[in-house]
Each structure stands twice: as structure tokens, then as C-alpha cells.
Amino acid sequence: MSTKNQPISGNDLARFSGPNTFMRLPSANELKGLDVAVLGIPMDIGTSWRSGTRFGPKQVRSESAMLRPYNLATGAAPFDSLQVADIGDLAINTFSLSESLKIISESYDAILNYDAMPLAIGGDHSITLPILRAMAKRHGPLALVHVDAHADVNEDMFGERETHGTVFRRAYEEGLINPSKTYQIGLRGTGYSAEDFTEAADWGFQQFPAHELWGKSLATLGAEIRRDIGDVPTYVTYDIDSLDPAYAPGTGTPEIGGLTTPQALELIRALKGLNIVGGDLVEVSPPYDTSGNTALTGANILYEMLCVLPGVAYR
């Protein structure tokens, strides 16, 4: 029997009770000895349309109570080999986006000092910029797997350079990511001009629009990405709006014609073997999630990410 932290079993305590931590894992006040730190970043002041992602961490944790430790499809048993805990929410400043982003990068500096792999529950996508700043300081320019309906490469929004729609332009400009090892998967919807979609491709970003993926397995694409990246430290950022609103309606900027839930699983599962150094699941907005399915799907996606981290045991 593993001596690592385990989620509380549904056979020991009914799933509808117990702590509201991710998968009902122990909560940890210190980072020492952790391989993986799950954390919440409850923020929605970087959004441009619907708000509500400030409630994302709480609701994703709540729905994660259904998750069991063993991945039947892949054989992954992450809690056999990795010490995982929920370190709670970051104390962001809900009255200041810029201050909040600073708090996030400083918190990540601390997490990375302890060599814990961070898995964040957002929050709107603006959280990923300060995360990448800290991650790149530690690991150098990262390979980036970015699953999203949107490229998030605007120059600015209302003059603001740090919002949920500008993240990956800033990351490119600041040299936080390797542009030729940046993969944007699931892009779609309407734009203002053709450049909305082509400019980032000129920087080197590899873009995979949703309409080219309709009806296809993403296992192949995932395997190609894995081979292309090699052993470069890789960050995975999963915007829940990459999924079709039929599967994930509870999000800030929904776009029709999106990925299916099985495609999301195929893609993430194919990333096993990469040198993944951290990840996030963003843009779950519980007030728009009347069925709870979006938060449930988000919880599962985060679990699948956990299952492909380096060092995960397989049975």
C-alpha cells in the first residue's frame, strides 16, 4: 500500500461529505515534500464577457469528489507514486488585476522553489501569464500545449495589455514560450480580420482550428505534438471553452462547433511521456453552469493532466 497522500475513498466516507479539496485529497499548508501542488486561483477580473470564474476553484473541487484514484482507461495510478496535495487558493486582490497577477507569479516562485509541479484551477485565462513568467524563470522558454477556442493573442483590450485575451502575445513577446513549440488546439469562432488568426502563426505558433478536427480522433495529433516537443519542459493550459458549449456551457466566452469530451481525453492522454512541468484548467464559470457538467468536466480534465505528469505509476 502506498504511503503517499490518497483521496478519501467513497467507501470510507460518502462522496457528498468531507473536505472541499481537489478529489478530497489532504490539504497542505507547506510545500515541502510535495510532487504536485493543486491550487485554486479564484479570479474573474480579467474577463471580457461573462464573469463568474471566481467561483471556478470551489465548484471544480466540489465536482471532483466523484473522481476515484485509478484511471481505468490508461492504467495511471498517480497517487501510487506522486505526493499530491491541495494547497488551497491564492489570496488574490479582487479589486486589482495587476496586483493579482503579481501575487500569482510570486506564489509560483515559492511553489517552484520546492520543486512541486503546480496544477491550477482557474480563474479566467489571465492567470496563465504570471504562471508562465514564473515557470520560464525556472525552466527557460517552455513548450506550450494550449487548448482553447481562442488564441488569446490580442495586442490589448481597452488599452489593457494583461487580460484573458492577451496572454499568449505577452508570453511570446517576453520570451516565456518557444513559439515553434507552441500548439493552439480548438481555435474557432468569429474574428475582426484574417490577421486575428494568422499573426500568431507567423510567430511560429502551430494552430489547429476546431473545424479541421471535427470528427477526428485527437490521439494522432497528440502523438505528433509529443514527438515534436521532445524533452523540452512543457506547460499545458486547458481553456474549458475549447469544448463545445453542448459539453461545457458554463464558461465566459462560449463558441459553437467545439471539441468533444472524448477528443479532450484523447489529446491529453497522448501527452504522456512529455516533460510536463505544470498545467492549468481555466474559464469554468459556475453561475453559467446550470447542470454542473462544466465543472465536472473540468475536474476530470485536471485529473487526466495529473495522470500524464512525469513519474506517474501505471498498473
Q: Which residues contribute to the site for Mn ion (CB under 5 A)?
A: 125, 148-150, 152, 239, 241
- Residue 241 or residue 289: which is nearer to Mn ion going by CB? 241
Query: Nearest approach, Cβ of 241 to Mn ion (angstroms)?
Result: 4
- Residue 115 or residue 174: which is nearer to Mn ion going by CB? 174
> Is the link from the previous residue into 257 a cis peptide, with omega within 30 of 0?
no
CA angle 164, 166, 167 (to 5 degrees): 75
Residue bearing cell 490577421: 195
Query: Nearest approach, Cβ of 164 to Mn ion (angstroms)?
Result: 6
The amino acid present at 109, given as its one-letter code, is: D
- Separation CA 38–CA 286 (nearest Å): 19
Give residue 72's region: left, alpha or beta (phi > 0; psi -120 to 50): alpha
Query: Nearest approach, Cβ of 181 to Mn ion (angstroms)?
Result: 19
Sign of the C-alpha dihedral, residues 139, 154, 103, 52? negative
CA angle 239, 243, 245 (to 5 degrees): 115
Query: Nearest approach, Cβ of 253 to Mn ion (angstroms)?
Result: 5
- Residue 5 or residue 297: which is nearer to Mn ion going by CB? 297
Query: Nearest approach, Cβ of 7 to Mn ion (angstroms)?
Result: 28
- Residue 40 or residue 122: which is nearer to Mn ion going by CB? 122
- Residue 63 or residue 152: which is nearer to Mn ion going by CB? 152
